[in-house]
């Protein structure tokens, strides 16, 4: 399965990989692993981007779509780091961090927005370990931030 | 020290490893590391399982016991991944995530429920790096979620 | 660039590496990586240490300074683990966890307190992947906790 063809089949286009918003780099390759920095749903310059807490400002279904946007950004950064997405050996692990109300419980459904995308695009190689958690605040009030470890 | 014998000596029985509740796998082996997904205290089908926030619904002493249950689940998943627990080289790191009130401060005491178990069962190999943090919400309102990295 | 000389040039002195406050170790070396435990801003015995939430008890500018203190502690623990700081190959990744109010948004500015220090001390080797997130509570009400992965 060619991930670039899969993206096309799914009608998806990779965005420009979002730049870091502070003094860090978007990924570090170490041995045969790549550690990707926590990433939000969109280019931070996009003023129409949704902000706020899932469970109040944004519902679970919208949260799923936002986690998928984060996934696209992570794939864009991954492509920047390895050039050819076919060089991916496997997605190792996600930490899915959800800006949420104190009584939110549907983290798994939101996180699946990113997980489903990775499995659709990379197939068996896209199956990953994961933690999904609720945060009381995230940078710039983004609704979802995800960090990822992959093997090349 | 044989970890299976230690579990028996401690009067503990490994549960069935809990299934993932969404589109992810419970562990990924990569090189000689295993990344285990965030895990809760019990089988998600168990309706009698305690839910809620530590510091309000659940006290620190109960939280310790719940973190120990999470530890048992993690060992069960580890056994599933490496078959013989003697194949473990070392526990590398835990991220202990505690569903807590805003003024909770005893994260270390709760997290020790899992850490003490790992050291009791695996001895020197069970000594690990760790972070313990408070979350304002966790999936399905579970009180504790822990992810783990081990070396085999 | 010699990191010890850089620390001197910056007028900084490494503290004693803070001891763990519970049943864990401050770092685990595995393969050529070191996983450092979550670390707070100061020795836990220091009664004058600032405690509380950033966005309420502590402002962003003070948070930056606190994150820098955490960075110094992490470098002190790193030195304990590798003896000579010149043995560092690279800082791989930080997880910057900020004890914050629900409406806090300046996580990146706080986290830069640690990131700027690492780049000042280690130069190119100090550039790292990072996630910065807001927590509703941290152990002992410390304002910032940071965990780190490095390559040697």
Tell whether C99 is within 8 A of chain A (Cβ). Answer: no
Mean pLDDT, chain A, rounded, equals 94
Contact C123, C88 (CB under 8 A): no
pLDDT tens digits along C11-57: 999 999 988 878 899 999 999 999 999 999 976 446 667 899 999 99
Which residues in chain A have Cβ-Cβ distances shorter than 8 Å to C122?
Answer: none
CATH topology assigned to domain B37-42+49-151: 60s Ribosomal Protein L30; Chain: A; (3.30.1330)
DSSP B87: G
What's the whole-model pTM score? 0.96
Beta bridge partner(s), residue B100: B54
- Mean pLDDT value across residues A15-34: 92
**Which chains border B (3 or more CB–CB pairs < 8 Å)?**
A, C
- Mean pLDDT value across residues C137-148: 97
Tell whether B37 is within 8 A of chain A (Cβ). Answer: yes
What's the pLDDT band for A42 if we cut at 50, 70, 90? confident
Domains of chain B, residue spans: 37-42+49-151
Tell me, what's the pLDDT at C46? 60
Domain A3-15+27-151 matching CATH 1.10.150.20: the answer reads no
CB count in 10 Å sphere of residue C42: 18
- Among C26, C95, C137, the residue with its CB nearest the CB of B134 is C137
C-alpha distances in angstroms, A90 versus A1, A34, A149?
13, 11, 9
Tell me, what's the pLDDT at A49? 78
- Among B93, B111, B135, the residue with its CB nearest the CB of C22 is B111
pLDDT tens digits along A93-134: 999 999 999 999 999 999 999 999 999 999 999 999 999 999
- Mean pLDDT value across residues B3-12: 95
Q: Which residue has the tokens 């783990």?
A: B148
Tell me, what's the pLDDT at A20? 85
CB count in 10 Å sphere of residue C127: 17
Q: What DSSP string describes chain B? A: --HHHHHHHTT--PPPPPPPSSSS-SEEEETTEEEEEEE-SS-TT-TTS--S-BTTTB-HHHHHHHHHHHHHHHHHHHHHHHSSGGG--EEEEEEEEEEB-TT---HHHHHHHHHHHHHHHHGGGG--EEEEEEESB-GGG-SEEEEEEEE-
Tell whether A83 is within 8 A of chain B (Cβ). Answer: no
Tell me, what's the pLDDT at B49? 78
- Mean pLDDT value across residues A3-17: 93
What's the pLDDT band for B92 if we cut at 50, 70, 90? very high
Looking at per-residue pLDDT, the higher value among A46 and C5 belongs to: C5
Contact C31, B30 (CB under 8 A): no
CB contact under 8 A, B105 and C38: no
Q: Tell me how far apart the alpha carbons of residues B134 and B105 are, in angstroms, rounded to a whole number.
A: 9
Contact B142, B99 (CB under 8 A): yes
Which residues in chain A have Cβ-Cβ distances shorter than 8 Å to C127?
Answer: 24-25, 28
| ipTM of the complex model | 0.95
- Mean pLDDT value across residues B85-103: 98
CB contact under 8 A, B130 and C27: no
Tell me, what's the pLDDT at B19? 85
What's the pLDDT band for A21 if we cut at 50, 70, 90? confident
**How large a percentage of chain A has pLDDT more than 70?**
96
- Mean pLDDT value across residues C146-152: 98
The domain C7-11+24-151 is placed in CATH, from the list 3.40.50.12280, 3.30.300.30, 3.30.1330.40, 3.40.718.10, at 3.30.1330.40
- Mean pLDDT value across residues C108-127: 97
- Mean pLDDT value across residues C91-99: 98
Tell me, what's the pLDDT at B20? 84
Q: Tell me how far apart the alpha carbons of residues A53 and A50 are, in angstroms, rounded to a whole number.
A: 10
**Which residue in chain C has the smallest CA separation from A95?**
C131
Tell me, what's the pLDDT at A51? 94
Tell whether A31 is within 8 A of chain C (Cβ). Answer: yes
DSSP C38: E
């Amino acid at each position: 399965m060619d991930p670039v063809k899969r993206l096309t089949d799914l009608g998806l286009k990779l965005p420009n990989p979002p730049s870091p918003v502070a003094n860090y780099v978007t990924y570090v390759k170490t041995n045969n692993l790549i550690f990707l920095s926590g990433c939000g749903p969109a280019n931070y310059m996009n003023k129409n981007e949704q902000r706020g807490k899932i469970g109040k400002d944004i519902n679970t279904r919208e949260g799923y779509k936002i986690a998928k946007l984060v996934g696209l950004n992570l794939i864009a950064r991954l492509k920047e780091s390895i050039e050819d997405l076919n060089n991916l050996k496997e997605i190792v692990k996600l930490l899915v961090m959800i800006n949420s109300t104190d009584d939110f419980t549907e983290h798994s459904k939101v996180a699946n927005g990113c997980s489903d995308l990775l499995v659709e695009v990379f197939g068996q190689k896209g199956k990953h370990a994961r933690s999904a958690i609720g945060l009381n605040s995230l940078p710039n009030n983004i609704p979802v931030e995800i960090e990822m470890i992959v093997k090349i």
